[in-house]
Chain A
Amino acid sequence: MWHWIQRFSSPKHFYVMSAPLITWFSVSALLIGAYGLYLGLFVAPTDYQQGESYRIIFIHVPAAWMSMFVYMVMAVSSGIGIIWQIRLADMVAAASAPIGASFAFIALVTGSLWGKPMWGAYWVWDARLTSELILLFLYLGYMALQSAIEDQRSADKASGLLAIVGVVNIPIIHYSVEWWNTLHQGATVAKFDKPSMHIDMLIPLLLMAVAFKLFYAAVVLVRARNEALYRDRNRRWVRELVERL
């Protein structure tokens, strides 16, 4: 069993086996995403409170969910890499970070765009947006640490440890920010409450969530393959690959 895992997770085998997966993931992401967007933008009913502008949640909410999910994947992968010394896990973690950071950024931008028609301001210190911003900083810290350490193995392990420390802190940060936000709310209702979830709104939302996950899967495989090629660039399997081109 252990040998099978070691063999399966060798970068060379990963490189070969991931190629068809990428096509599969990206095509499904495209199809499901297109359908979800169609439902969300055209079929879902107008919200009686927020009008048409609420439709941005079909991008904003899945992006926010993904930013959290990818961070979890990063932390778990790093843990696997540190404990069991599986290099593929390190590659997946490193490959995931910019993707997760981009999702966090998209969530912030779309949240900001949502805020403008609703409350007249591009930025409000809402609990969710603030938490999202802090999450973006955690991602940036991870990526900065990775690139600052020269030795690849140390860099992976150090930033992996940072990701794990981050995961422990995220609930604490989240709770603190929520609490802080309730203090400064004043009389207004919590700002980014989702509109009461009509089933016609829920389905496109979930479809978009699935589409984003598939998109992430496709992109992380592409990036992880790049990592594998780069890190093993002096090894035989990469040189043979290049010669065959």
Chain B
Amino acid sequence: MFEAKSLECVRDDRLLFNDLSFAVAESEVLQIEGPNGSGKTSLLRILCGLRLAEAGHVLWQGESIISNREDYYANMVYIGHLPCVKGDLTVLENVRSLLDTRSLSLGNEEIEVALSKVGLASYEDVPGKALSSGQRRRILLAFVELSQAKLWILDEPLTALDVQGVALMESMIMEHKQSGGSVVFTTHHGMQLECEMSSVQLGRKARG
């Protein structure tokens, strides 16, 4: 379903990885591991089509994502390091705005259900700037939950989350996997996922 072929990445004149290939099938969870600076974020951004690899291709359903952006983006969602939350918009407006770029118009009730699932139940009308960074992160979790995307690409998804938040993320990933979705993620913290996981190792021994 999703494939990376012979990816090469150079950053600040350093070769981060070379000839990296792997595939992600439906219901598969893939963890990208590696020390700081080994190119995990760059790899994820290449997988999203936000960054161009020096060499190699990323394929979605057999077609290059660069030539097939519309279809790919309709089926995937990405969360990076940055909060993506607008301080002057309420929680509800923030979620709605993120969904709008995906042309998803959902009713208020659906959004509220997702918000209570991520622990922001009575916060719909609270402006983003009044939230802690952990709470802002949960807005992104609600967004991912509602995004109707088959593929989740998550860069350090446990950032800023407390213990319950981490458990929430883990259960979301498990649920997604069980319903046929796929997840590619990186993390420093160990994620305790009770399921099969494949892994790709970056760093000195950079091979898929």
Q: Which residues of A contact B52 (CB under 8 A)?
A: 153
Rounded to whole angstroms, the CA-CA distance of A21 and B12 in the bound complex is 33
Q: Which A-chain residue is minimally distant from B15 (CB atoms)? A: A234
Give chain A residues whose Cβ lies under 8 Å from the Cβ of B13: 233-234
Closest CB-CB distance, A171 to chain B, in whole Å? Answer: 31
- Min CB gap B176→A, angstroms: 34
* Closest Cβ–Cβ distance, residue A156 to chain B (whole Å): 12
Number of A-B contacts (CB under 8 A): 5
A111 to B109, CA, bound (A): 72
Interface SS of chain B: helix, strand, loop or mixed?
A: loop
Q: How far is the CB of A85 from chain B (nearest CB, A)?
A: 9
Closest to B14 in A: A234
Q: Which of B12-69 contact A (CB under 8 A)?
A: 12-13, 52
A234 and B12 CA atoms in complex are apart in Å by 11
Q: How many whole Å from A52's CB to the nearest CB in chain B?
A: 55
A150 to B10, CA, bound (A): 13
Cβ contacts A129-162/B at 8 Å (1 or 0 each): 0000000000000000000001101000000000
Encoded as 1 (CB less than 8 Å from any A CB) or 0, chain B from 56 to 100 comes to 000000000000000000000000000000000000000000000
Complex Cα distance, B110 from A182, in Å, reads 65
Chain A residue at minimal CB-CB distance from B11: A151
Contacts of A234 in B (CB 8 A): 13
Q: How far is the CA of A233 from the CA of B13 in the complex (A)?
A: 9
User: Chain B contacts of A151 at CB under 8 A?
Assistant: 12
With A and B bound together, what is the CA distance between A151 and B51 in angstroms?
12
For A152, the closest partner residue in chain B by CB is B13
Binary CB contact string for chain A from 11 to 26 against chain B (1 if under 8 A, 0 otherwise): 0000000000000000
Q: A228-239 toward B: CB 8 Å interface, digit per residue (1/0)? A: 000001100000
Q: How far is the CA of A38 from the CA of B13 in the complex (A)?
A: 49
Which residue of chain B has the shortest Cβ distance to A231 in the bound complex?
B13
| Residues of the B chain whose Cβ atoms lie less than 8 Å from the Cβ of A153 | 52
What is the distance, in angstroms, from B94's C-beta to the closest C-beta of chain A?
29
Q: Which residues 191-224 in A have Cβ within 8 Å of B in the complex?
A: none
Complex Cα distance, B13 from A166, in Å, reads 30
Cα separation A150 to B13 with both chains bound (whole Å): 11
Chain B's nearest CB lies how many Å from the CB of A13?
18
* Docked CA distance A151–B12 (Å): 7
Closest to B52 in A: A153
The CA-CA distance from A192 to B12 in the complex, in Å, is 49
Interface residues of chain A, those whose CB is within 8 Å of chain B, are: 150-151, 153, 233-234
Q: Give chain B's interface residues, CB within 8 Å of chain A.
A: 12-13, 52
- A-B pairs with lowest CB-CB distance, top 5: A234-B13, A151-B12, A150-B12, A153-B52, A233-B13
5 contacts between A and B (CB under 8 A): A150-B12, A151-B12, A153-B52, A233-B13, A234-B13
